[in-house]
A and B are shown apart, each in its own frame.
Chain A
Amino acid sequence: MLSHADNEYMSRIGDGTAMGTFVRRFWTPLMLSEDLAEPDGTPQEVRLFGENLVAFRDTEGRIGVLQALCPHRQAPLAYARNEECGLRCIYHGWKFDVDGTCLDMPNEAPESVFKDRVRADAYPTCEAAGVVWVYMGPKDRQPEMPDMEWMRVADSYRNVHRFHVEGNWVQAMEGDVDSSHIGFLHKNLRDLRDPAKAGRENRYQALDKAPKWVIQPTDYGMMIAARRNAEDDTYYWRINQVMLPYYTSVAAPIDGSAGLLHMWVPMDDSHTYVWTVMWRTQRPMTERERSDMIEGPTPHVATYDPATGGLRGNHQNRFFQDRMEMKTETFSGIFGIREQDAAMTVGMGPIVDRSKEHLGAADSAVIALRRILIKAARDLESGEEPYAPYHGDVYRRRAWSAVLPRNDDFLNDPVANQMHESLVP
């Protein structure tokens, strides 16, 4: 349960809101570099933090992110000519470079200095790990890039995907810290009926449904540890990481060979970009691994629509829920992991009313996430700058899982601290 006031405070990210001010302190993933592959190519419209923007790659390969509408008559710059290091609005020919400087104003007299007084709103950008990043906070507070493991592996080692869904970013993000839903929403009936025959990790999860939770706030966000009984002399640990402001890293396989991270980036208060990053730590991903993300037997995203950047599944078509499959195959009857999650979080409405919730012990991490976010925004409001955006190295943490000899105090052991560290130098 969260009061209406706290719920609004946490969820809304518009310009001037406390949470909006907080999330603007960080570099934000905007789009894939390949979406702006060609210099002087087609400008792309994008919505971020409630602002409509246009992104383009200029003649020299630089990325510009400008206000979506021309400062002149508010015509859409997405239609603009992209030429000679700038966007030229096709309405009256005004031209702006990647910094928002007005380079040309051909419908005014040549001697006019009007163009020197007009600028387009422009935001700093950079490219890293195949992603275009933008910074929308105060100019004198530009942060460091987060030094996450997936950003340090070679391009061939990772797969990055983005789509958008309805619903507020926090309720989408909460799903990744709500571990108990995994045993239901994402399960096959076969594993639920006969957990002893499931794989080792699934079996531990199925047989110990009430893990011991350890939740620790950290300088990057928080660590969520679930400790389950494994064999008589071992525990099965799953460590997830929440990294501010909207990154969730889900426990990797026991062998540490791969990683999974989500970025829940607010388009506005009621729409979210869901980024999924999968990577291998020791070898390139195979084509099969890449295609399985969307086309595999248990796809991460099953109904991605490249034409819209969203999902074909939605609340109106009930995410193609199949009642027959619910009887025979899966708990949800919905195909695709992200579709299963979206069916739940989109169906809650644009911003879920958390004052009507009834939370229990299994929701500890959800409550903790909310408290972390609210506290971070409140601290900034009271003048305390966040630590993480200015210390990119704190993002060198990884989620992990392991079966280890029983030690109730393992998380305080130096070995545990080493396991949090990135495997990629």
Chain B
Amino acid sequence: MTQAGIALDDIVEIEDFSEATILALAARLERSTAFQELIAREIELDELWRRVETGIKAVADDPAATVARRSLQAIFELVWQAHDLAGAERPLEAAARLRQATTLGN
């Protein structure tokens, strides 16, 4: 069980792509080792990726959001990489990608 009482093979609902959400997911990745735990992380990363994609679409036509859009696209790419790394049973590298994503700002 995690500190919050959530087992690592439980799937946590991802409701946004805030820094807190991404860091929490990175922390869970760093503790995940079992097959089913990594499947759970992959599903969470799927949802995170979808949230970021929605964020990109929301600013797609806003000329004043060029910087934000670029930042979101970089985050999107890192989340995608993290997703594939989790699937390849490389959770620590996946977590590092997420931590890198939080340095980009959103």
Binding site for B on A (CB under 8 A): 1-3, 6, 213-217, 358-361, 363-364, 367-368, 370-371, 374-375
A-contact 0/1 string along B51-91, CB 8 Å cutoff = 00000000000000000000000000000100110010100
Q: Please provide the 9 A-B residue pairs with the shortest distance between their CB atoms, ordered closest to farther.
A: A361-B11, A217-B35, A215-B36, A1-B46, A368-B39, A359-B46, A367-B39, A364-B39, A3-B84
B83 with A216: CB separation less than 8 A: no
Interface pair B39/A215, CB less than 8 Å apart: yes
**B23: Cβ under 8 A from any A Cβ:** no
The answer to whether A216 and B46 have CB atoms under 8 Å apart is: no
Given A1-B83, A3-B84, A358-B50, decide whether A367 and B35 contact each other with a Cβ distance below 8 A. no
Chain A-chain B contacts (Cβ-Cβ < 8 Å), number: 46
Docked-complex contact B40 and A364, CB < 8 angstroms:
yes
Residues of B in contact, count (CB < 8 Å): 17
Q: Kindly identify which residue among B35, B40, B49 contacts A1, using a CB–CB cutoff of 8 Å.
A: B49
Supply 10 further A-B pairs (C-beta < 8 A) apart from A358-B46, A360-B43.
A1-B46, A3-B84, A214-B36, A216-B35, A364-B11, A367-B39, A367-B42, A367-B43, A368-B35, A368-B39
Is B47 in the interface zone, CB < 8 Å from A? yes
Residues of B contacting A217 in the complex (Cβ-Cβ under 8 angstroms): 35
A364–B43 touching, CB < 8 Å: yes
Q: For residue B36, which residue of chain A has the nearest CB?
A: A215
Instruction: Say which residue of A3, A216, A374 sits within 8 Å of B36 (CB atoms).
Output: A216
Asked if A6 and B87 sit within 8 Å, CB to CB, the answer is yes
| Closest chain B CB from A160 CB (angstroms) | 32
Question: Which of A217, A371, A374, A375: most chain B Cβ within 10 A?
Answer: A371
- In the complex, how many angstroms separate the beta carbon of B86 from the nearest chain A beta carbon? 10
Measured between beta carbons, the chain B residues less than 8 angstroms from A363 are: 43
A176 to B49, CA, bound (A): 27
Task: Show 13 A/B contacts (Cβ-Cβ < 8 Å), sorted by A.
Answer: A1-B49, A6-B84, A215-B35, A359-B43, A361-B11, A361-B43, A363-B43, A364-B11, A364-B36, A364-B43, A368-B36, A371-B39, A371-B42
- Nearest B residue to A360 by beta-carbon distance? B43
Q: Which residues of B contact A370 (CB under 8 A)?
A: 87
A358 to B40, CA, bound (A): 14
CB proximity of A163 to chain B, nearest CB, Å: 32
Q: Cβ of B46: which chain A residues have Cβ within 8 Å of it?
A: 1, 358-360
Please give the distance in Å from A61's CB to the nearest CB on chain B: 46
Which residue on chain A has the smallest CB distance to residue B47?
Answer: A360
Closest A residue to B45 by beta carbon equals: A1
